[in-house]
A and B are shown apart, each in its own frame.
Chain A
């Protein structure tokens, strides 16, 4: 199993540009999440999904959109990038089975907005 994969690994955008960060998992996990990691602030939840077709907002959703058309994929869209969105983005998945708590993280996407 590849686990959780993310593309691209690095991206530089100009203010106002849009882009989609890709995330896929092959563990048949029901739950998927997007986090951003900033120095001194830990990981903060952007959006999450409890199944295909179901998404909800996390702690810092403004400026980001998500959709979940399949169990495997959970893309994160930046509609109009801003310098405040410069961060490292992590996608994670977890299973509804058992306690459902352990989250498996992807390798991250480092985004710079100029």
Chain B
């Protein structure tokens, strides 16, 4: 049973647009929510992460919004650029020690010039 549901599967935006990728989780005990970015032919790399004690976190043009009551979190990319074209994965886990990351299915983003 998929514990982290991600949408949409794919997304196309124009340069400068603000793509939004959404994720929903089931286990209320999760307390670590990262986003990973993957370019073709490469392994995923951590982009930004949030813990449930805050509702928003920004790092450069990337923002995570977190809604604990709805069990949802989303990634916003401000002023998107063609170089942001990649696959994005949300994930959830427990913090501390080794804890299994549960990944969403991924969103393939294309930013057109």
- Indicate the size class of the contact surface on chain A: 20 to 34
Residues in A54-97 with C-beta less than 8 Å from chain B: 58-59, 90, 92, 94, 96
Secondary structure of the B side of the interface? loop
B interface residues with partner A (beta carbon < 8 Å)? 4, 6, 9, 32, 34, 41-46, 49, 89, 93, 95-101, 103-106
User: Across the interface, do B95 and A50 meet the contact criterion of CB distance under 8 Å?
Assistant: no
A54 to B56, alpha carbons, bound, how many Å? 37
User: Across the interface, do A42 and B105 meet the contact criterion of CB distance under 8 Å?
Assistant: yes
Could you tell me the distance in whole angstroms from the C-beta of B109 to the nearest C-beta in chain A?
15
User: Across the interface, do B101 and A45 meet the contact criterion of CB distance under 8 Å?
Assistant: yes
Residues in A35-53 with C-beta less than 8 Å from chain B: 40-45, 48, 50
User: Across the interface, do A102 and B46 meet the contact criterion of CB distance under 8 Å?
Assistant: yes
Q: Which residue of A44, A50, A94, A106 contacts B103 across the interface (Cβ within 8 Å)?
A: A44
A96 to B95, alpha carbons, bound, how many Å? 11
Q: Does A100 contact B (CB under 8 A)?
A: yes
Of B41, B44, B93, most buried by chain A (CB within 10 Å of CB) is B44
